[in-house]
Amino acid sequence: MAWLTDQPSASPPPGERLAELWKRPGLLRIPGTHNALAALLAKKAGFEALYLSGAGISASLGLPDLGVMTLHELCFVTRAVYRAVGLPLVVDGDTGYGEILNAMRVVRELEEAGAAAVHIEDQVMPKKCGHLDDKRLVEPEEMAAKIEAAARARTHLRIIARTDAVASEGLEAAIRRARLYLEAGADAIFPEALESEEMFRDFARAIDAPLLANMTEFGRTPYLSAEQFEAFGFKMVIWPVSALRVAAKAMEELYTGLMADGAATGFLDRMQTRQEFHELVGYHRYEALDSSIARSAVAGAPKRDGTQG
């Protein structure tokens, strides 16, 4: 609704708005939203920034998280989510979709789509989920060059450098990589797949920059709360695919029930009502806008003789 009628906002661009949130005391909680409908629900719950997971969007397309999703598909979802909610979006940019020039294009395309930040990781393509085994990394200097190029291409987008080095090279190597990436122009660091509370504390003590924690389920990281991540010294926490996992499980149960019973009535208490759904997507506000414009256009339409009606 706002996207159809509002003029461009005079407020700071998304990247600067996210940076202002980083300056506030406390931890920024950023849930994963795999489409615009999920984003509307997250905004309704009160979240101030959202996360677009490569794994979540890929799964929504029926694809695995192996870097096979295209930049076009990522930007399509980013644009749809930003138009729906207008909140700062942290977007998963995988490995930058290629090398130096590709990473620069990712930055420009995501800025135009409405993103506030992108994180780029130091894996070799085809990349893997950060919580799986046998990840292969590029050399630190190669990743630093990609970060420098991404920072050069942006106007407001914040660059978050993700390192997957802990699993294969150890914590100290990951810290050295993080420092190099900050020198290259990264604004924040995302240390992936830390395996203990002590690792989070040690990383935060060693790195003077906003840090992003990944609280994914069924991975290497123990289940920790937002309050704990804040106490460790982190500035952001994401739950990248939690909403998608819950939604997928609910849909699986519904389809199984439909196949077995031939009816969905047993799931009514787990559905949004028609009214709740319409309120969420702004159905009646769009309908009112359509009616008001149609009426005004008809009322002021020229007659056959050229005069106004």
Residues marked as catalytic: 51, 65, 92, 94, 119, 121, 129, 162, 192, 214
DSSP state of 211: B
Write out the E strands in 127-265.
158-163, 188-191, 212-214, 236-239
The torsion angles phi and psi of 50, rounded to 5 degrees, stand at -130, 160
Q: DSSP assignment of 16-54, as one string?
A: HHHHHHHHSSSPEEEEB-SSHHHHHHHHHHT-S-EEE-H
Query: Which residue in the block uniquely carries the two structure tokens 């677009």?
Result: 52
> Distance between terminal CA atoms of the chain?
29
Cα separation, 186 vs 93, whole angstroms: 14
Cα separation, 309 vs 302, whole angstroms: 6
Environment class of residue 198 by beta-carbon count within 10 Å: exposed (0-12), middle (13-18) or buried (19+)?
exposed
Alpha-helical (H) ranges within 189-264 are: 197-206, 226-232, 242-261
Q: Is the peptide bond before 126 cis (omega within 30 degrees of 0)?
A: yes
Cα separation, 151 vs 147, whole angstroms: 6
| Strands 212-214 vs 188-191: parallel, antiparallel or unpaired | unpaired
Please state, in angstroms and as integers, the Cα–Cα distance from residue 163 to each residue in 53, 103, 108, 126, following that order: 16, 16, 22, 15
